Amino acid sequence: MPLSININMNQDTIAIIGGGNLGKSIAQGLLKQNYNPEQIYVTRTKVELLADLKAENVQTTSDNVLAVKEAKILIFALKPYRIEAVLKQLTSHITPDHLVISVISDFSIEQFTKSLAPTIQIVRAMPNTAAAIGESMTCLASKNASAENIAKTKFIFDALGETIEIDESLMDAATVLGACGIAYALRFIRAMIQGGIEIGFDAKTATKIASQTVKGASELLLQNGNHPEEEIDKVTTPKGCTIAGLNEMEHQGFSSSLIKGIKTSIETIQK
Ligand SMILES: NC(=O)C1=CN([C@@H]2O[C@H](COP(=O)(O)OP(=O)(O)OC[C@H]3O[C@@H](n4cnc5c(N)ncnc54)[C@H](OP(=O)(O)O)[C@@H]3O)[C@@H](O)[C@H]2O)C=CC1
Ligand SMILES: O=C(O)[C@@H]1CCC=N1
């Protein structure tokens, strides 16, 4: 569905301040949704690394002030240790007419607000890199943002995948489960591939089988709304190979290692 159908999103220029891994994924996702590339600004200091976006007619620049002046919607996708310096540079150019969205982890709305005029509304969004292909899971949180600004933010991220609204106190948890989660899932798939090669498949075939199988498993939950164990029960024949393998994985700490990893990730954010 083109973004222009609703609230005229294709008429609002978007500036992505910080075109790194996540910023670029968002830009790629917008392009995939037929967002007019000339109405997307992406900034970074090493602007030459945005050549792929430039080739698609996206406006790439190292000039954050220019991007902010040209855009109605600002998406800040900088590392947390860079944001304060960049906001200092931009404070006088960010107005209440801007919709300010931050995808920065570990940087609260309150911290953001301290650097800007009190009239500026901020929406926090926590997407993941699957935004590039319209499959992000994005958690949204706000404090003083208007219903219109929240709806606009939701509209943008709905076009890049699924969205849910959460309390800001859960943003670290959203970062871990949703954003870091992509990496955990990919490491799981990589391990499946390694196992698949050991039992006879070439790497390409193992990758195809593992990736599609994981996609199918996710879809079973998303489409049927069942508990994972209910679907697992359908696969585990008594005395069969699935339960033997699963139990061995659990003896080796499979679920426990994932849960401990998730807790370690959130402790790393919160320390
Ligand atoms: N990667 C992910 O999967 C996710 C990341 N996040 C959050 O998103 C934010 C960005 O993460 P990520 O994309 O991984 O990080 P990256 O380091 O890949 O991207 C940050 C970008 O900011 C640019 N940058 C640095 N200084 C400036 C500046 N003064 N003006 C404009 N651009 C600048 C950098 O480019 P250059 O060096 O050329 O300036 C870099 O490309 C972080 O806060 C992260 O926590 C949230 C969810 C998922
Ligand atoms: O690991 C990180 O710092 C960021 C936060 C979420 C995904 N990547």
Q: What are the tens digits of pLDDT across the range 180-228?
A: 999 999 999 999 999 999 999 999 999 999 999 999 999 999 999 999 9
| Residues 73, 154 share a domain | yes
Could you tell me the distance, in angstroms and rounded to a whole number, from the CA of residue 103 to the centre of ligand 1? 10
Nearest ligand by distance to the CA of 78: 1
What is the span of the domain harbouring residue 189? 175-270
| Residues 209, 89 share a domain | no
Number of folded domains in the chain?
2
- Please say which residue of 123, 147, 166 terminates a domain: 166
Could you tell me the distance, in angstroms and rounded to a whole number, from the CA of residue 40 to the centre of ligand 2? 24
Could you tell me the distance, in angstroms and rounded to a whole number, from the CA of residue 88 to the centre of ligand 2? 24
| Residues 211, 159 share a domain | no
| Residues 200, 131 share a domain | no
| Predicted TM-score (pTM) of this structure | 0.95
- Please say which residue of 134, 166, 198 terminates a domain: 166
Return the residue whose CA atom lies nearest to atom 1 of ligand 1: 22
Is 65 in contact with 93 (CB distance < 8 Å)? yes
Which one of 21, 115, 266 would you pick to mutate in the ligand 1 pocket, going by the greatest count of ligand atoms within 8 A of its CB?
21
Q: Which atom of ligand 1 is nearest to the CA of 85?
A: 29
Structure confidence by residue, pLDDT tens digits, 33-74: 999 999 999 999 999 999 999 999 999 999 999 999 999 999
- Please say which residue of 131, 166, 201 terminates a domain: 166
| Residues 161, 205 share a domain | no
